[in-house]
Amino acid sequence: MLLAETFQARVVAVEPSAKMRNDAERGSAHSRVVYRDGTADSIPAADGELDFALLSMVIHHVRDLDGCARELRRVIRRDGLVFIRNTFSGRLDGIRHYEFFPSARAIDEARLPRVERVREAFEARGFSTVALDSEFARGLALMRAAVDREADPIPVREKVDLLVLRRSRDEPLR
């Protein structure tokens, strides 16, 4: 909903769980947001239909990174962007809850993908890395300003990486 409002954009939200889609539709209904049944390796969109994709705290649930990258390459227009907002194995310093639950760090190191593996999967499919974190602070500031405009904001504070990839404008869809 925030993307639709902030950018006056049409948003396609893809979710494989019918319950989660129904909850989102009830709790976050918006005239420019549509919820579709799909997965990271089977996105319900036409070739080149989408300007960009935002994968927020989801990449660690994707079982087939190569399939995800291949499918995003298909649905993202040439020169379009993919934003991957997530925590990555090997980059967990500064996450406060590990002070209180130290064994959780070892679990997260084992279950989360490494940023290098995600980059490798996407770069093998014609994406190039644009940034890792460089514009994330500005984006957070914009999000905080949007929350400040809300009547009953709920704070979310966490250290998360943002990997930005660009689909090649020269290569045809495969």
Q: Note down pLDDT in tens along the chain; length 174 residues.
A: 788 888 888 999 999 999 999 999 999 889 999 999 999 999 999 999 999 999 999 999 999 999 999 999 999 999 999 999 999 999 998 888 898 999 999 999 999 999 999 999 999 999 999 888 645 666 667 777 877 777 766 665 667 788 888 988 776 655
CATH (domain of 110): 3.40.50.150
Range of the domain at 67: 39-167
The residue type of 72 is: L
Burial code of 3-25, b = ≥16 C-beta within 10 A, e = fewer? bbeeeeeebbbbbeeeeebeebe
Tokens for 163, please give them.
Answer: 């990997």
What's the whole-model pTM score? Answer: 0.78
Q: Let me know if residue 2 belongs to a domain.
A: no
> How far is the C-alpha of 174 from the C-alpha of 84, rounded, in Å?
22
Q: Let me know if residue 62 belongs to a domain.
A: yes
What total of structural domains would you count in the chain? 1
Q: Let me know if residue 172 belongs to a domain.
A: no
Q: Let me know if residue 11 belongs to a domain.
A: no
Q: Let me know if residue 4 belongs to a domain.
A: no
